[in-house]
Amino acid sequence: MQTEIIPLGTGAAIPVSDRHLPAMALIHDGHVLLFDCGEGTQFQLLRAGIKSLRIEAIFITHLHGDHYFGLLGLISTFTLLGRSTPLTLVGPAGIQTIMCAMPGFDQAHLPFELTYKELHEGFTREVVVETEAYTVEARPIEHRIQAVGYRFQERSRPGRLDPDRARALGVADVKDFARLKAGKPVKLGGGHVVRPEEVVGPERRGVSFAYVTDTRPCAGGVELARGADLLYHEATFTSELYERAIETGHSTAIEAATVAREAGARRLLLGHFSARYTDPSVFIEEARTVFQNTEVAEELKRYPI
């Protein structure tokens, strides 16, 4: 079962010729989650070869336009395509009011069920999506307005079955192999019982991804990134514009790297770059002085987790 992310937009506030507004797709076993939806996200989905109708949930970090102005067009397209499967939209309080203010966007006019999950000022942590395969949790982060970060966590998976060991113990029926894999003992002829722990390895930890953008370094971001296999953290500026980062509620590359180190993340992917920077290598050079396993996010590149 593969999980991967695809940056669709790595810019900040102002689009430039080779950098789009914020959006990130996560694909898990064919299911698609979308984090932020800046203007132009539909075109980036097309370029990435992602079928937009497969999006099951959208997670908006905050209500600055560069992070959600693409929503209206995307949901309008869902309507034109006759979408029938439910969609969950998660974001700060106010997102439902904004969406429903547009004619035709209330539930009575949509051909699919649109469920809103709003996060109000003062919340500390909330699991906003939960399935048999994964959860997505939200925590507050620190920006000029209410902002939210998210963490995707795959559930732990059963250990690997050793078929040779199982056969040596007398297991032959394919259904019995499945029972052992599911953690159930198998009774063989003569009353002999083969237990799962005899032939199945230890439970495997699920993969994790943290999406932390438009924020100052903060406790919420650290907790979202705690032990994450991959952390996407904003690095709007380099350290020479540290005062500007404080003023605008953003982070520098070295601050993003410090969050990754403090959280014990395995990998760091930087994004949300100010339009004033044309060479992304400056972000890598700065961040790697603190956290070596750092990359700059490339739009439309697939990053397995």
Residues carrying an active site annotation: 66
CA dist 222 and 263 (Å) reads 5
Q: Which helix (H) or strand (E) holds 270?
A: strand 268-271
Please, are residues 219 and 13 in contact by the beta-carbon 8 Å criterion? no
Within its chain, how far is the Cα of 87 from the centroid? 16
CB-based contacts of 277: which residues, under 8 Å, 6+ apart?
Answer: 238, 283
Q: Which residue, 298, 277, 296, 297, is CA-closest to 288? A: 296
d(C-alpha 245, C-alpha 240), whole Å:
10
How far lies 283's CA from each of 36, 217, 229, 251, 287, in Å?
22, 16, 20, 11, 6
Which strand (E) or helix (H) includes residue 174?
Answer: helix 174-181
Q: What is the DSSP string of 79-98?
A: HHTT--S-EEEEEETTHHHH
**Angstrom distance (rounded) from CA 108 to CA 86:** 14
Element (H, E) at 150: strand 146-154
